[in-house]
């Protein structure tokens, strides 16, 4: 794939950096990143490249759905009737010998969540849903619950990215394109969560370039990984914003046990997970990817 893209886009650069500035369009590629300078690639070519790099996904042109045309082909005309929407991306992987009835799955998902106004398959394993959520309700847990039920019913494994609430205008397709790239980047790494969002992925995604070159973060990461349960401790504290009682509940341990582990973490790593700056540094170290 890299040779083909280099042939088609000889000006493109391939390296270990995930970010080269706003003047570049960047996609993950076989453990590295490929960068296309602005002016050397069109929006349609960007979407085609993303679909080429997504395993088992083939981009469908000529999509008749109005939202599909707007997001994936041409930002005009702009769909009417909704001031702001969220885009939910879902990938499916078959885990049973029975083929996936995609139409039935699509209808089941659309009918289960009242906030969904439309949905369509871009390929056999990649679907997009349009969500109208004007009151900004937290939908992550609800969507994850529906996905879990449908995964069991249809014999599949799904992963999803719930986008931000964006204004429906001519700029939204560009925002969606970046969210699509973030989702692809997330899936190229080990990801325990079934559904991710911009806020849960932004830190490791946007700080990758600096983090990947840091011997300090590499040393901290190695130290955390050498502690039994060290990574789980950091993640639990991060997800609960440093609240020891809630983190202890997530880890199924007594609060005093967790406090002991935090004290041991301080003695070993030199960072106090009860301090948000120390917790942030530990979290960044765990998400850093190195050569």
Domain(s) labelled CATH 1.10.10.2840 in the chain stretch across 214-287
Topology (CATH) of 214-287: Arc Repressor Mutant, subunit A (1.10.10)
The confidence score (pLDDT) of residue 145 equals 93
- pLDDT for 84 equals 93
Q: What is the reported pTM?
A: 0.69
Q: How many residues make up the chain in this entry?
A: 291
Residue intervals of the chain classified under CATH 3.30.70.100 are 66-197
Give per-residue pLDDT as tens, 11-27: 888 876 656 666 777 77
Query: Residue 35 forms beta bridges with which residues?
Result: 13, 26
| Distance separating alpha carbons of residues 80 and 70, to the nearest angstrom | 11
What is the distance between the alpha carbons of residues 12 and 18, in angstroms, rounded to a whole number?
Answer: 14
Give the model confidence (pLDDT) of 142-182 as tens digits: 999 999 999 999 999 999 999 999 999 999 999 998 898 88
Fold (topology level) of 66-197: Alpha-Beta Plaits (3.30.70)
Structure-model confidence comparison of residues 40 and 244, the more confident one: 244
Nearest to 161 by CA among 90, 59, 113: 90
């Amino acid at each position: 794939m890299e040779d083909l893209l280099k042939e088609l886009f000889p000006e493109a650069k391939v390296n270990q950096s995930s970010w080269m500035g706003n003047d570049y369009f960047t996609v993950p590629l076989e453990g590295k990143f490929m960068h296309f300078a602005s002016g050397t690639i069109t929006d349609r070519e960007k979407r085609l490249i993303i679909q080429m790099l997504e395993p088992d996904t083939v981009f469908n042109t000529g999509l008749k759905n109005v939202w599909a045309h707007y997001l994936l082909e041409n930002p005009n005309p702009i769909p009417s009737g909704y001031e702001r929407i969220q885009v939910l991306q879902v990938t499916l992987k078959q885990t049973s010998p029975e083929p996936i009835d995609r139409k039935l799955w699509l209808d089941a998902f659309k009918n289960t969540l009242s906030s969904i106004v439309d949905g369509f398959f871009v390929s056999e394993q990649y679907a997009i849903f349009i969500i109208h959520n004007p009151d900004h309700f937290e939908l992550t847990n609800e969507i994850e619950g529906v996905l879990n039920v449908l995964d069991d019913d249809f014999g599949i494994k799904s992963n999803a990215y719930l986008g931000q609430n964006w204004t429906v205008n001519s700029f939204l397709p560009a925002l969606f394109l970046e969210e699509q790239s973030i989702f692809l980047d997330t899936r190229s790494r080990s990801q325990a969560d079934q559904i991710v969002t911009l806020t849960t992925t932004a830190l490791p995604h946007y700080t990758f370039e600096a983090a990947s070159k840091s011997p300090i973060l590499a040393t901290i990461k190695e130290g955390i990984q050498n502690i039994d349960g060290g990574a789980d401790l950091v993640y639990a504290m991060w997800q609960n914003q440093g609240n020891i009682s809630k983190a202890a509940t997530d880890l199924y341990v007594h609060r005093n046990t967790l406090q002991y582990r935090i004290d041991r973490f301080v003695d070993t790593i030199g960072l106090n997970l009860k301090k948000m700056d120390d917790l942030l540094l530990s979290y960044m170290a765990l998400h850093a990817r190195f050569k």
